[in-house]
Chains A and B, each alone.
Chain A
């Protein structure tokens, strides 16, 4: 099993540019989570999907952030326009259906630097 796949692994961009992060969850998993991790704030849940439907996006910091899950095997997190304070590691995680919901399988993360 390939695990959760994220791309790109590293992204360096300039303030004001659009950034798109991609995630492929584990096959068969039906919930997907986007997190942001910084030294100051730790691991913050941004949004999660169940069966491709956004369930809770209360963690999305502002309108510059948007996330989509067009099908069970793909999700994107977009930041437009990007700002230096968006610099962080962004993780995607997925969980299988059923009572193992609390066991989240994380991808390797995308390290974003906004100059």
Chain B
């Protein structure tokens, strides 16, 4: 079993849809959870950063962490074609990047 699993997609949705992206993990030591967005032929960029369990909202984006289930989610409301990208979850055991690992990424296409 891989340490972090993520459905690779591609996931295609119509503009305006609510998108749900998910990751599961096996290492219970993970406490910090990130979502990175990567546009084609670009480097990843940090989108959301959360600590431990709970929700965090930033505009149209909501990150959710359920440590008891070892499951994290990213929700995108009112999705736009500009949201088309690969979304990588990432996690670590400490705020100094201990055991930092990326998921394989989910490719999202938002169709106009």
Contacts and interface: CB of A to CB of B under 8 A. Distances in A.
Contacts of B87: none
Given A42-B102, A42-B104, A99 B96 contact: yes
**Which residue of B32, B100, B104, B105 has the most chain A CB atoms within 10 A of its CB atom?**
B100
Contact of B100 (A45, A99, A105, A108): A45
A102 B43 contact: no
Interface string A40-75: 001101000000000000000000000000000000
B36 to A, nearest CB: 8
A102 B32 contact: yes
Interface stretch (B13-21, B44-52, B77-85): B44-52
Interface band, chain B: 20 to 34
A99 B94 CA distance: 9
B42 interface: yes
19 contacts: A42-B88, A42-B102, A42-B104, A42-B105, A43-B44, A43-B102, A43-B104, A45-B102, A93-B43, A99-B95, A99-B96, A102-B32, A102-B90, A102-B92, A102-B95, A102-B97, A103-B46, A105-B45, A108-B42
